[in-house]
Amino acid sequence: MENVQINRAYLETLSFSDLQKLADDYSIDVPENFNRGFLIGEILEVAEESYKKNLELDMNITEEEEESCDDSEMPRSYNSTEVEIILRNPAWAYIYWNISDSDRDSLEKAFVSELRIRVSSFSEKSQVKPDEFFDIQISKQDNGQYFLLPAGKKFFCVDLLFCLDGIIDILASSEVLEMPTGSSRLVDVHPGKEEGLSPIMELSGMKELLLQHYKNHRESFS
């Protein structure tokens, strides 16, 4: 009977002996010649109290589990110096980085105040020297940033750099990101190049989007 919902309709279907057995399960003392209606009322009252107690217990357990999984208890980083690049869509990528405690201490002791992210693009994955690159200045408090991908490039890599007395050195480098093969109609489109836009692309607002990107991110266009 544990899986049966205890309500008056259900109790009314039980014989008096079954009601007595159920009362025993709930530790209800049933006097001799106890009225059936009163017995059903007693069982309903005790069953409701038992349900509320079990519900409160489940809620407490759930709260404890949520507290044990609180994000505030998880480490912000794993104390390693790294930088990675993730493709968001064919136009934008996300860079995230981390600096270990030891490297951060070394930078502070050397009075390094300038950090940069260098975005390099390549035509071939095996290239050592990039076709082109541009730098993004970052602060010590930041750990991630979106950037606009230069159009028409196939491979990308990012470096986490520091600048000391005019000398630039690398803290960490990412894996090479390969752009998935896409439509040349989108890859070859640039602001002012009208012939690459089909009527459907114009309706999508691509022309206005490219113009806005160009105004704010000119350095990302080849």
User: Which of the four pLDDT bands, split at 50, 70 and 90, describes residue 219?
Assistant: very low
Yes or no: say if 159 and 83 are a contact pair by the CB < 8 Å rule.
yes
Distance (Å, rounded) from C-alpha 92 to C-alpha 203? 21
The single residue listed with the structure tokens 């070859």 is: 188
Q: Which residues pair with 173 in a beta bridge?
A: 159
User: Which of the four pLDDT bands, split at 50, 70 and 90, describes residue 16?
Assistant: confident
Give the mean model confidence (pLDDT) for residues 121-125. Answer: 88
User: Which of the four pLDDT bands, split at 50, 70 and 90, describes residue 118?
Assistant: very high
Which amino acid type is present at position 217?
H
More confident residue, 1 or 22: 22
Distance (Å, rounded) from C-alpha 217 to C-alpha 205? 18
Give the mean model confidence (pLDDT) for residues 26-31. Answer: 76
pTM: 0.48
pLDDT at 195 over 80: no
* Structural domains for the chain: 8-71 (no CATH), 75-181 (2.60.40.10), 182-222 (no CATH)
Strands 177-178 and 114-122: unpaired
The SS3 call for residue 189 is: coil
Distance (Å, rounded) from C-alpha 99 to C-alpha 111? 15
